[in-house]
Structure 1
């Protein structure tokens, strides 16, 4: 009788640890970000620009009184710099503040990675506006 592992039905074949690390490094070099960094970019889509500011004492008091939560910062400063730039990219596209770009570069990222981030985030919107902006000629 055969056994079908439903929990891992589409799992990749098992490779040696060295091959897996090399494949992960190749994927990071191609995309510019690791899988964890891409997940931070995806999660930051729900955050607003107001989430980047420190809450005042009054807003914290009202939040605790009425049960409003505040957006938590990420514990890793490198990922927090990535999240901040991603929030601006989701909300404003290429209009990134210079202070955020400087923080992004100081965290160890490159300008090319910032361009990759903004291009991937705004890609859908640019593609749709180009489609709808094209005049259609009726025959």
Structure 2
């Protein structure tokens, strides 16, 4: 019978996958997205821009300069308004910008908690 000496090896956990995290700036983008309307995802029409010039009013949020943060903002706005019902093309754009499935799950879980807390507050 053979004996294998493993005393010199450190045992690693079976799962060595990195845990998905968002930075403080990214969480701030998610929080700001809560107040954005779905219309902020669309480019304003010529008529809407004309009216905004003469009458002021609520303008859509400008696009973020960082394309990765803009993809995060877009998916967060949709999550705040629609929950888990996200368009496939937005999920694809989110992944294409460098975020993983774990990032999306983390974001959706946090937004879901926030939506539940808001609904509980309105029910009182």
Residue 103 of structure 1 is aligned with which of 93, 98, 121? 93
Residue 65 of structure 1 is aligned with which of 54, 58, 63? 54
1:91 matched to which residue of 2? 81
1 or 2, which has the higher helix percentage? 1
Offset at residue 30 of structure 1 (A): 5.2
Residue 51 of structure 1 is aligned with which of 15, 34, 40? 40
Residues 1:46 and 1:128: Cα distance change in structure 2 (over 3 Å): closer
Unaligned runs of 5+ in 1: 1-28, 130-139
Residues 1:106 and 1:72: Cα distance change in structure 2 (over 3 Å): same
**Mapping of 1:1-139 within 5 angstroms?**
32-68=21-57, 69-126=59-116
TM-score (norm 1): 0.67
SS in 1 for 2:34: helix
Write the distance in 2 (CA, Å) between the matches of 1:104 and 1:52: 14
Write the distance in 2 (CA, Å) between the matches of 1:44 and 1:62: 24
Greater length-normalized contact order (CA 8 Å, ≥ 6 residues apart) = 2
Comparing 47-56 and 120-129, the one that deviates more:
120-129
Offset at residue 71 of structure 1 (A): 1.6
Offset at residue 123 of structure 1 (A): 1.6
TM-score (norm 2): 0.75
Unaligned runs of 5+ in 2: 1-17, 120-124
* Root mean square deviation of aligned Cα: 2.1
Offset at residue 116 of structure 1 (A): 0.7
Size of the aligned set, in residue pairs, is 102
